[in-house]
Amino acid sequence: MRSNTLPEDVLYILNTLNQGGYEAYIVGGCVRDTILNTTPKDWDITTSAQPEETKKLFSHTFDTGIQHGTVTVVLNHTNYEVTTYRVEGNYEDCRHPSSVSFTNNLREDLLRRDFTMNAIAYHPKNGYQDPFRGMEDIQRKTIRGVGEAALRFQEDALRMLRCVRFAAQLGFSVENETYQALCENKERIQKISVERIHDEMEKLWLCQYDEKMSLLWESGLLKAIDPLLSARIVERGNAFLPQLRNLPKDPILRWTMVLQDYSPQEAKTFLKKFKFDNDSLKRICLLLENLAHELPTQGYPLRTLAGKLGVDAIQQLLLLQEILHPTSPFAETAQCLNEILTRGDCLTLKELAVDGQMLMELGIPKGKAIGNLLAALLNLVHQNPQWNQTQFLLEKAKDLM
Contacts with ligand ATP, residue ranges (CB under 6 A): 28-29, 41, 44, 113-114, 118-119, 156, 158-159
Neighbouring residues of 63: CB distance < 8 A, sequence distance ≥ 6: 51, 70, 71, 72
Query: C-beta of 379: minimal distance to Mg ion in Å?
Result: 52
Which stretch in 24-32, 142-150, 255-263, 357-365 sits in contact with Mg ion by CB under 5 A?
A: 24-32
Residue 158, contacted partner among Mg ion, ligand ATP, none, CB below 5-8 A by kind: ligand ATP
CA torsion, ordered 74, 78, 83, 84, to nearest 10 deg:
-40
Nearer Cβ to ligand ATP (28/385): 28
Kindly state the smallest distance separating residue 20's Cβ from Mg ion, in Å: 25
Q: Give the 3-state secondary structure of residue 264.
A: helix
Residue nearest to ligand ATP (CB): 29
By beta-carbon proximity to ligand ATP, the closer residue of 196 and 245 is 196
CB of 36 to Mg ion, least distance (A): 13
In a 13 Å sphere around the CA of 66, the CA atoms on its Cβ side amount to 10
159 binds, options ligand ATP, Mg ion, none, Cβ within 5 to 8 A by partner type: ligand ATP
Candidate residues 29, 124, 301, 329; the one interacting with Mg ion per rule CB under 5 A? 29
Distances 138 to 69, 169, 394 between C-alpha atoms, Å: 28, 13, 71
Edge-to-edge strand ranges of the sheet holding 70-75: 61-65, 70-75, 78-84, 44-47, 24-27, 121-123, 127-129
- Residue number with CB closer to Mg ion (29 or 131): 29
Amino acid at 80: Y
- Our CB check for ligand ATP shows the closer of 49 and 378 to be 49
210 binds, options ligand ATP, Mg ion, none, Cβ within 5 to 8 A by partner type: none
Q: ∠ CA 189-193-196 to the nearest 5 degrees?
A: 90
Cα gap 374→372, rounded to integer Å = 5
Q: Which C-beta is closer to ligand ATP: that of 113 or that of 188? A: 113
Contact 14, 124 (CB under 8 A): yes
Q: Which amino acid is at 165?
A: R
Q: Which does 118 bind (CB under 5 to 8 A by kind): ligand ATP, Mg ion, none?
A: ligand ATP
Pick one of ligand ATP, Mg ion, none as the site partner of residue 7 (Cβ within 5 to 8 A by kind): none
Q: What is the distance in angstroms between the CA of the first residue and the CA of the last residue of the chain?
A: 78
- Taking contact as CB under 5 A, which single stretch among the options 28-36, 124-132, 239-247, 388-396 is the one that binds Mg ion? 28-36
Interface residue list for Mg ion (CB under 5 A):
29
